[in-house]
Amino acid sequence: MIKRALNILKQYYGYSYFKQGQQKIIQNILEKRDVFCVMPTGGGKSICYQIPALMLEGITLVICPLISLMKDQVDNLRNIGIDAEYINSTLSLNDIDRIINLCKNNKVKLLYIAPERLENSYFCNLIKKLKISQVAVDEAHCVSQWGHDFRTSYTYIKSFIYSLSERPIITSFTATATEEVRKDSINLLGIINPYVYSGGFDRNNLSINIHKEMDKLEFVKSYIREKEYESGIIYCATRKEVDGLYEYLRERGFYVSKYHGGLDDKLKHKFQEDFLFEKLNVMVATNAFGMGIDKSNVRYIIHFTMPKNIESYYQEIGRGGRDGEKCECHLLYSRNDIERQEYIINTSSSFNRRAIEIMKLNEIIKLCETEQCYRKVILNYFGDNSHNNFCNNCSNCFNNQELKDFTIEAQKILSCIYRTREKVGISVLTDILRGIPGPKIIANKYDSLSTYGLMKEYSGKYIKEIIDSLILQGYLSKKENTYSMVKLNEKSISILKNKHKVLLLLEESSDSRIEDEELFKKLRIMRKDIASWNNIKPYMIFSDSTLIEMANLKPTNSKEMMLIAGVGEVKFNKYGKYFINIIKNYNLKLKNTKNS
Ligand code: ADP
């Protein structure tokens, strides 16, 4: 059974291994046992019910709270050759009839619906006639009053399931569930003796940074300038704050998008699409943005104001790095935020909920003011006490870090500057150290220097960070009137002569798995082009992780390409050749520059 599941994983999704927890969950579902699964965002919940859906007889009904998420999920499934449909309020009655007919004729394996559908008895009677083998409840915490986004319509799920002539397997999935919410949800969904999987809440690819009382506007400007090519979301507390920040950034020449509930639907749609189709990389929004967004390659999340509770904060940062790659999260905390959130709670929450909301607000204030590891505090809040005292991926852990000895790295860099006679800028210097045969390097024979390739195990970004720190600490000087040229000074010489140690406050390796940034960039451009020809979102073609693996392994034929994680049969047939061509041309260019 599991062998067949593995074949499906490879054939459709292009992955050779299950992620943690997936196999056991799938196995239980196939053995007809109910499941309650808590997995962090990006943990791979969808595959847990999608693969059984393909293996079980009949249909899997997926209850999904957000219309846009539903569409994205269905588009994704169709893009890999799986028969999926959705029914929601955006469809006409004719469309709904057409889809029900497809279901009757066994042409649909997964049918996504919004929970509100189950309030409609006409609709319920229609689908009761179908063979429903699994009901998969996404965002299962929405059924609980204790959850932070309770939805009344979720309470209809249980009675619907129990009105079916044959009880289907009930599977439920959530990323955030405290013990209380967990018990409540199992009960309210009518789940019986489930296999409970709790994969914890930790998202270790998110770095959590909280900045106290800093100049928020200055931070945002310099940050988004530095991350020009990456997608990010800036969350604000109110619509007014979104409008204000959006105007401020626009007036200063930044291309940003915005989103909040007060915009008219057309505009909202346009701004959202600009971001999802990567026409604009920055989204300024209230927390209304992102709930139904499946964009997997959000590389940073900034909270311009402290959110109202830890659940919201964790859910919002959870929208970053869904592909498992790094995402930086920055919360800009000021004590003024407290009053603002109190005001919002007092004016918008019902009397009964106010006390709970204020209690939750106090917890997030404690988080912002703690000196402990932020990740540990958050995970403890969710009842996970298993985490170490330090995560080394949050700003408190960074601040508690001791200075590290970077003397060897500094000597390699300084010696390369010496050997290139201070004639190259930081980028070329970095490429020489990494052993990348760019045109300037070949033309000037820098590839014959003893420092060529001396730091090839370091990423370009990391080397640049070390250089920046050396400049900042006065171990190296910038050349006057140049943008990126550097020169040695007295301190540099004493480091080269081993008379001085270099101690820096830098993470061990702050960067990424990307070995060839230039090829990665070219593959990303290709992805964006294919996406716009097909009018689908770039991350639906291939995820960032898949492109990074392509850039690192450089597959040039179908066999090699099919070994890349995320390249399944259907996607390979549709898009494989474009990426192979890019890689072949890139290899050729590298070879030519090396030979010329
Ligand atoms: P969740 O619903 O838990 O947030 P998703 O189901 O959206 O997570 O999966 C997150 C990412 O992980 C997606 O890009 C998905 O393709 C990828 N993924 C899922 N299962 C696997 C696997 N077995 N191997 C590699 N990547 C996987």
314 lines ligand 1 (CB under 6 A): no
39 lines ligand 1 (CB under 6 A): yes
18 lines ligand 1 (CB under 6 A): yes
44 lines ligand 1 (CB under 6 A): yes
DSSP 41-101: TTS-HHHHHHHHHHHSSSEEEEE-S-HHHHHHHHHHHHHTT--EEEE-TTS-HHHHHHHHH
> Which residue's entry shows tokens 């030979």?
595
Ligand 1 geometric centre to CA of 321 (Å): 11
Q: Give the type of residue at 79.
A: N
> Which residue's entry shows tokens 């204030």?
365
Strand bridging mode 404-405 / 503-504: antiparallel
Structure tokens at 211: 């900045």
Dist CA 533 CA 323 (whole Å): 23
Dist CA 218 CA 216 (whole Å): 6
Structure tokens at 204: 């270790």
> Atom 15, ligand 1: which residue's CA is nearest?
44
272 lines ligand 1 (CB under 6 A): no
pLDDT for residue 507: 63
Mean pLDDT of 131-137: 96
Structure tokens at 474: 């006065």
Ligand 1 geometric centre to CA of 228 (Å): 26
Ligand 1 geometric centre to CA of 479 (Å): 47
321 lines ligand 1 (CB under 6 A): no
15 lines ligand 1 (CB under 6 A): yes
Q: Which of 322, 327, 548 to mutate to test the pocket of ligand 1 (most atoms within 8 A of CB)?
A: 322
Summary mean pLDDT of the chain: 90
Instruction: Quick: pLDDT tens for 333-379.
Output: 999 999 888 888 888 767 777 888 899 999 999 999 999 999 999 99
pLDDT for residue 315: 87
pTM: 0.74
CA-CA-CA-CA torsion sign (155, 159, 164, 168): positive
- Which atom from ligand 1 is nearest to the alpha carbon of 43? 3
> Burial letters for 13-46: b for 16+ Cβ neighbours within 10 Å, e otherwise?
bbbeebbebbbbbbebbbeebbbbbbbbbbbbbb
> Atom 25, ligand 1: which residue's CA is nearest?
15
Instruction: Quick: pLDDT tens for 84-105.
Output: 999 988 888 899 999 999 999 9
Instruction: Quick: pLDDT tens for 444-502.
Output: 999 999 999 999 888 888 898 899 889 888 899 988 877 788 999 999 999 999 988 89
505 against 332, higher pLDDT? 332
Mean pLDDT of 315-331: 92
Strand bridging mode 477-478 / 486-487: antiparallel
> Atom 13, ligand 1: which residue's CA is nearest?
323
Q: Which of 9, 12, 13, 291 to mutate to test the pocket of ligand 1 (most atoms within 8 A of CB)?
A: 13
- Which atom from ligand 1 is nearest to the alpha carbon of 17? 23
- Which atom from ligand 1 is nearest to the alpha carbon of 22? 23
Ligand 1 geometric centre to CA of 324 (Å): 8
- Which atom from ligand 1 is nearest to the alpha carbon of 48? 6
Dist CA 267 CA 563 (whole Å): 42
Strand bridging mode 298-303 / 231-235: parallel
| pLDDT at 33 exceeding the cut of 90 | yes
E strands within 279-348?
Answer: 282-285, 298-303, 327-333
Ligand 1 geometric centre to CA of 131 (Å): 28
Structure tokens at 391: 């995560």
Q: Which of 11, 23, 46 to mutate to test the pocket of ligand 1 (most atoms within 8 A of CB)?
A: 46
479 against 27, higher pLDDT? 27
SS3 assignment, position 329? strand
Q: Give the type of residue at 104.
A: K
pLDDT for residue 307: 95
294 against 251, higher pLDDT? 251
320 lines ligand 1 (CB under 6 A): no
pLDDT for residue 400: 73
- CA-based radius of gyration for the chain: 26
State the alpha helices, DSSP H only, in 109-238. 121-128, 156-162, 179-188, 216-226
| pLDDT at 559 exceeding the cut of 80 | yes
| Structural domains of the chain, ranges and CATH numbers in brackets | 2-198 (3.40.50.300), 206-401 (3.40.50.300), 405-504 (1.10.10.10), 517-595 (1.10.150.80)
Mean pLDDT of 8-34: 95
pLDDT for residue 508: 55
Closest by alpha carbon to 409, among 511, 508, 512, 487? 508
